[in-house]
Structure 1
Amino acid sequence: MIEPSVFAAHWLGHRHLTRRVIAAFPPDALFTFSPAPPLRPFGEMVWELHGQTAYTLRGLLDGDWGEPTWDTLPGTDRAAVLAAWDGQTARIETGLPGVPAERYGETLTLSWGEMLVFTAVIGSIDNEVHHRGQGMVYLRELGTQPPDFWDRS
């Protein structure tokens, strides 16, 4: 199993890159631009990621893997999105290194099936990578060069 501090650094690298993608969006396009129906605006995807990460952190850090609660969109202001993103990233920075390595090997029964804690957390990160890629395509459609996908500093 991977060391918690190494895993935290990996996840944080994804968070930093996704933040740069959010910040690259023109404020008026974050919640309005969609290249084609039925695709959602990137801002809606970001709030989905925020909710999924909140659920994952609640389980990982607090042991509460109950039913997820998907909040309505807290707002459509880019500054609010970035502030929420930064707050959640800070929770990962401070909380994740203290998670015992054994916890990742525990088996859970979630609403979408039985899986290891590690699998649930990786699924959250995979979803972020997926939606970040969509956001990068959206930026190109808007005529904006997205951040380099390999730079997770």
Structure 2
Amino acid sequence: MPHSLLIPPDILALHWLGHRHVTRRVIEAFPQGQLFTFRPTDTLRPFGEMAWELHGQTAYTLRSLLDGDWGQPTWNPLPSTDKTTLLAAWDEQVRRIQTGLPGVPPDAFGQMLRLPWGEMLTFTAVIGAIDNEIHHRGQGMVYLRELGVEPPAFWERA
């Protein structure tokens, strides 16, 4: 059964980019030396590791959207523990979302996919990547508060 997309790809890109901008500000807000080391408890990861996870999930989702190949994702080990390197990779990915996502045909989002985490619409996979970013960003904001830093306002998405 075909599905229609409620949000056009260009508007979806703007929505996703708003989240990317807020998450970037969370990354920037971490004090020197804390992004890849601070963890409130031993069972939680540093936010820098989560940010690289988000980068990897977005890379997989965006690449798959653009080339149509939703094969097995490759999760790379932590590429770097340097904030500047992470932010540069983040910014490059933002440019890819800006240029690539608006050109995805709307009917591509209604296709059913068989992914390692279940069967779902392409749109659901994209929203899942955004949801995961929101979830981990919330963790990062709690970490900032634990460090005595006021996190950026989540509603300031520009």
Matches within 5 A, 1:47-58: 47-58=52-63
Cross-structure match for 1:8: 13
| Partner Cα distance (2:73, 2:151) in 1 | 32
Aligned partner (choices 142, 147, 150) of residue 152 of structure 2: 147
Q: Which runs of 5+ in 1 are unaligned?
A: none
TM-score for both structures, normalised by structure 1: 0.98
**Contact kept in structure 2, 1:27 and 1:77, CA below 8 Å:** no
User: Could you give the per-residue CA deviations for residues 67-117 of structure 1, whole angstroms, max 9, x where no partner exists?
Assistant: 000001111000000001001111000000101111110111111111000
Q: What is the aligned length?
A: 153
Aligned partner (choices 129, 138, 153) of residue 143 of structure 2: 138
Q: Does 1:81 align with 2:80?
A: no
**Contact kept in structure 2, 1:136 and 1:146, CA below 8 Å:** yes
**Contact kept in structure 2, 1:52 and 1:124, CA below 8 Å:** yes
| Partner Cα distance (2:127, 2:67) in 1 | 18
Deviation at 1:62, TM superposition (A): 1.1
Cross-structure match for 2:50: 45
Aligned partner (choices 123, 132, 151) of residue 128 of structure 2: 123
Query: Aligned partner of 1:136: which letter?
Result: M
| Partner Cα distance (1:90, 1:96) in 2 | 10
Query: Aligned partner of 2:61: which letter?
Result: T
| Identity %, equivalent residues | 71
Aligned partner (choices 100, 111, 118) of residue 95 of structure 1: 100
> Aligned Cα RMSD in Å?
0.6
| Partner Cα distance (1:81, 1:110) in 2 | 27
TM-score for both structures, normalised by structure 2: 0.95
Query: Aligned partner of 1:52: which letter?
Result: Q
| Partner Cα distance (2:116, 2:8) in 1 | 27
| Partner Cα distance (1:136, 1:45) in 2 | 12
Cross-structure match for 1:17: 22
| Partner Cα distance (2:118, 2:95) in 1 | 29
| Partner Cα distance (1:133, 1:3) in 2 | 27
Query: Aligned partner of 1:5: which letter?
Result: D
Q: Which runs of 5+ in 2 are unaligned?
A: none
Deviation at 1:143, TM superposition (A): 0.6
